[in-house]
Chains A and B, each alone.
Chain A
Amino acid sequence: GAVVSQHPSRVICKSGTSVKIECRSLDFQATTMFWYRQFPKKSLMLMATSNEGSKATYEQGVEKDKFLINHASLTLSTLTVTSAHPEDSSFYICSAPSYHSYNEQFFGPGTRLTVL
């Protein structure tokens, strides 16, 4: 199956700093990628849809100025958590649909963000 990678897998930062998380589709092109947030023992909450070459679409309640998304190429989307605060600590997961397998989403391994 298709592979999606994320980098870094873990990051610890100080409050007030910005953190960038990368999501790459390794063996397929993805014009669309999705970013999810997952709190401990909770479900995945869709944050935004990342669109190559255009602005991301954010879900209701997600601050677009807080969570900056850039889909720079057909294989790379980045999520930048700006001015991070402890409440931003979470597990961030990206996914990309494979157009070879209709609707099927391939998920990255996730990034654990801890804001001190």
Chain B
Amino acid sequence: QQQVKQSPQSLIVQKGGISIINCAYENTAFDYFPWYQQFPGKGPALLIAIRPDVSEKKEGRFTISFNKSAKQFSLHIMDSQPGDSATYFCAASDGGGFKTIFGAGTRLFVKA
């Protein structure tokens, strides 16, 4: 299975709050799990990524939690800011072909 399932579809968070987006995958061959941020009319930009040999990765306000046994991973945005309002995509790829499969996306709106 190549699918990557992402939830929620949309999310509204107060400024300063924590935004949490979840993803699940089925293909155990995936070995790279990036998160992308996309603003309207722009291409996606890599936010943070994790490999399955670690359970958590933190970069600034962004943290990925990874549960290999459950085949799930999530993005946490701490101290969410209005500038974080964008669409976030989780994704997965395997090292062989670099082909990246995207989740459906989550539209995040951070209220000022």
Binding site for B on A (CB under 8 A): 1, 4, 6, 32, 34, 41-46, 49, 91, 93, 95, 97, 102-110, 112
Contact = CB atoms under 8 A, between A and B. Distances in A.
Contacts of B98: 32, 34, 97, 103, 105
15 contacts: A4-B43, A6-B43, A41-B107, A43-B103, A44-B44, A44-B89, A46-B102, A49-B99, A93-B44, A97-B98, A103-B32, A104-B32, A105-B46, A105-B93, A106-B46
Contact of B100 (A91, A95, A110): A95
Contacts of A91: 41
A93 B43 contact: yes
Interface of B: 31-32, 34, 36, 41-46, 49, 89, 93, 95, 97-105, 107
A110 to B, nearest CB: 5
A40 to B, nearest CB: 9
Contacts of B42: 109-110
A91 B104 CA distance: 16
B77 to A, nearest CB: 19
B45 A104 contact: no
Nearest to B6: A43
Q: Which 6 A-B pairs have the closest CB atoms?
A: A103-B32, A107-B43, A97-B98, A110-B43, A109-B43, A44-B102
